[in-house]
Amino acid sequence: MKFPAVKTLLATATFSLAAQASAFEQSRTAECIAPANPGGGWDFTCRSVGNVLTDLGFITGNVQTVNMPGAGGGVAFAHTISKRDDDSALIVAASTATTTRLAQGQFVGMDQEMVRWVGALGADYGVIAVSKDSPFQSLNDMMDALKADPHSVKFGGGSAAGGWDHLKVLIAGRSAGIEKANLPKVKYLAFNGGAEAITQVVGGHLEAFTGDISEAQGFMESGDLKVLAVLSEERLPAPLDAIPTAREQNIDAVAPNWRGFYVPKGVSDEAYQWWVDTMDSVYKSDNWQDVMEKNGLMPFHKTGADFSTFVKGQVDSIKEISTEIGLIK
């Protein structure tokens, strides 16, 4: 595999490209599975990282994004395990939505140990948004309506029912004082990607969207979507700094959605390490930092064994909160 004269850009990387190439030679092309329809967060992750992998010469051909929606990521997870278990040229986009489904046992007969977790390249914070014509002017307005009648607001999101997008609303509702018995009554409709859900909100068919800032940004810029709150510790950097946090509205809801990848369990240790090292370098590159800034991604980077440990811990913690809220027993 030949790498172009981009080595100076990656001088701070933790490995030598030449040494990497001698340990494992990646195929000319690669494939990234986005477990949802075009327009959502997983699709964004595949296409953005794929462009950087090509631009920096890690893949000398192209990185093809393959959209594989279904079961909140379960179709892609099962496909990877059953059909592509030793494919070293395959990466699959994942996020907190993936660990949520795993935590809740929604990938029947499968768990996080059946793939190898490569790394996370940033966090995409959650948002709760409405159409430009919505009567809700703040997150508190919406939560007051839900406290009075948990059926009064119908949400749409890109994760499956009980998934991470759904959980964001329930976490905010719990903090806002919605009675525990009423939390499961809040209406949520699942779509194959955030863009589909937003289209329903903009069209007046749903009252609210729950998802991530990267999914909402284009609709915000067009003026079709009004974000009531971002679920982050503090306001996001410009140009997104006008969006209030839930915490500013006295609702302690923080919901970072990491963006990252897994690869098949059966790939060689050398191939796995190639992907780990490559994602380290992608994250440190100016190219990726520019993508993060333009799309509201916040710093969040873990790879290899550190990331695998993190994933296991997140699965355990989401299982705990899902049980507390009553989504699982």
Tokens of 247: 């915490």
Considering the chain, what is the average pLDDT of its residues?
90
Terminal C-alpha separation, the chain = 50
For the cut 60, the answer to whether the pLDDT of residue 16 exceeds it is: no
Cα–Cα distance measured from residue 74 to residue 235, given in angstroms and rounded to the nearest whole number: 33
For the cut 50, the answer to whether the pLDDT of residue 21 exceeds it is: no
Cα–Cα distance measured from residue 39 to residue 221, given in angstroms and rounded to the nearest whole number: 15
Q: What is the pLDDT of residue 251?
A: 97
Q: pLDDT tens, 87-109?
A: 999 999 999 989 999 999 999 99
Q: What is the pTM of this model?
A: 0.75
Cα–Cα distance measured from residue 143 to residue 133, given in angstroms and rounded to the nearest whole number: 18
CA distances in angstroms from 196 to 45, 118, 219, 323, listed in the order given = 17, 28, 12, 29
Average pLDDT over residues 172-185: 92
Q: What is the pLDDT of residue 24?
A: 82
Confidence bin at 39 (pLDDT 50/70/90)? confident
Q: Which of 43, 44, 118, 54 is nearest to 88 (CA)?
A: 118
Residue matched to tokens 């809040």: 186
Higher pLDDT, residue 179 or 20: 179
Distance of CA 117 to the CA centre of its chain: 14
Q: What is the pLDDT of residue 19?
A: 40
**C-alpha dihedral (120, 155, 251, 329), degrees to nearest 10:** -70
Cα–Cα distance measured from residue 48 to residue 29, given in angstroms and rounded to the nearest whole number: 16
Q: pLDDT tens, 218-229?
A: 999 999 999 999
Q: What is the pLDDT of residue 327?
A: 84
Q: pLDDT tens, 191-215?
A: 988 999 999 999 999 999 999 998 8
Higher pLDDT, residue 302 or 238: 302
Q: pLDDT tens, 106-123?
A: 999 999 999 999 999 999
